[in-house]
Structure 1
């Protein structure tokens, strides 16, 4: 029953919250769809935290997404030992990079007074959840080898069953607790998404592609 609540019910609750609250926030307070950048306060530590974090997490998420969307192709890619070794080593390296980058960003928020002042409780909630997610991912990559393959036979069919509104909890219920935590925490991040500054990820400025050119006038002596 506990697995059903966590992996058959909660994912739909999380996605519903993300969509409904996200749309409500966009309609009622569209200007809050921003990262509220603090870069002008201090940029050196921000660079060494933000660049590794964004670079690594995008590649990690892309790998998860490709394995979910194209399991047969991903299986063929990981079907040869040398390619599987490269995928595992690369994934572990990217995971470590995400931890280092996120740790830098958290130290910056805690240690830089001007940044600490503009950091909210929700920022810390999100940072802690993100840290738990990436650390658990690194632990899984280090202790449960060949995730590039077993992911295709566990998480992928479970996620597809959710998409088809026919949750098959048995795919994930038998996995180690660290993997179950990683899966649950991913949907927990989705649930808090619309309440945090993470919503800036959904604010893609597509309107800039077709808006009229702007004329900039400089008034200098």
Structure 2
């Protein structure tokens, strides 16, 4: 019963809250539809944490997405032992890189009086959930080897069954606890999407790619004038 609630019901609840809450927040509080950056408070520390976090997590999520959308291609890619080892090593390195960036951001948020002054409960909850997700991902990669293979053969079919509105939890039930925690926490992050800074991931200024060039004209007076 517990597995059914977590892996057949909770994903739909999280998705409904994410979509409905995101639309509501965009329509009612559009100004808050951003990361609410505190860069001006502590630029140098934020830079090192943010760069490692964003580059690492984007590449990891892309790998998960490719396996989900193109399982046949991903399976052929993993069919060669050398490519499999290279992908596993790269994923582990990216996980460590991401974890380092996230720890920097968390320590900055806690240790900096300026950043702490503007921190909210939801900020800390989000950072804790992100830290749990990255930590469990690394743990699973180290303890349960060849995660790219079992993700393809177990998690992907389960996610496809959810997309088809016919959840099949037989793929998930026999998995170890930490893998289940990783999967449930992923949907918890989706649930937190509309009430935290996560909403900024859908406000990327893509229009910058085709907008006209911005001309900046400096009007600086000569010294002594």
- Into which bin does the TM-score normalised by the smaller protein fall? over 0.9
Q: Deviations over 1:46-95 (max 9, x none)?
A: 12211111111111100100011111111111111111111111111111
* Other-structure match for 1:115: 115
Moved more, 55-64 or 207-216: 207-216
**Segment drifting more, 35-44 vs 65-74:** 35-44
1: CA distance between counterparts of 2:214 and 2:82? 52
Residue aligning to 1:3? 3
| Corresponding position of 1:172 | 172
- Residue 118 of structure 1: how far off its partner (Å): 1.0
Alignment of 1:94-173 (within 5 A): 94-173=94-173
TM-score, with normalisation over the residues of structure 1? 0.95
Which residue is equivalent to 2:198? 198
State the shift of 1:215 in Å: 6.0
Q: Counterpart of 2:183?
A: 183
Distance 1:61 1:206 in 2: 19
Q: 1:210 to 1:94 in 2, by over 3 A?
A: closer
User: Matches of 2:207 and 2:99 in 1, distance apart?
Assistant: 34
Alignment partner of 1:16 is 2:16? yes
Does residue 1:30 correspond to 2:37, yes or no? no
In 2: Cα distance, 1:83 partner to 1:136 partner: 24
Deviates more, 1:208-217 or 1:43-52: 208-217
Please give the TM-score of this superposition, normalised by the length of structure 2. 0.94
d(CA) in 1 for partners of 2:80, 2:210: 45
Say if 2:60 is the partner of 1:60: yes
User: Greater shift after overlay, 158-167 or 197-206?
Assistant: 197-206
Aligned CA RMSD, in angstroms, stands at 1.4
Instruction: Give the gaps of 5 or more residues in structure 1.
Output: none
Deviation at residue 205 of structure 1 after TM alignment: 2.3
**Higher deviation after alignment, 44-53 or 124-133:** 44-53
Matched, 1:51 2:39: no
Query: Which one is further off, 200-209 or 210-219?
Result: 210-219
Equivalents in 2 of 1:178, 1:56: separation in Å?
21
CA distance in 2, matches of 1:216, 1:68: 44
Query: 2 CA distance for matches of 1:106 and 1:48?
Result: 12
Distance 2:181 2:206 in 1: 35
User: 1:38 Cα deviation (Å)?
Assistant: 1.0
Structure 1 CA distance for aligned equivalents of residues 208 and 79 of structure 2: 43
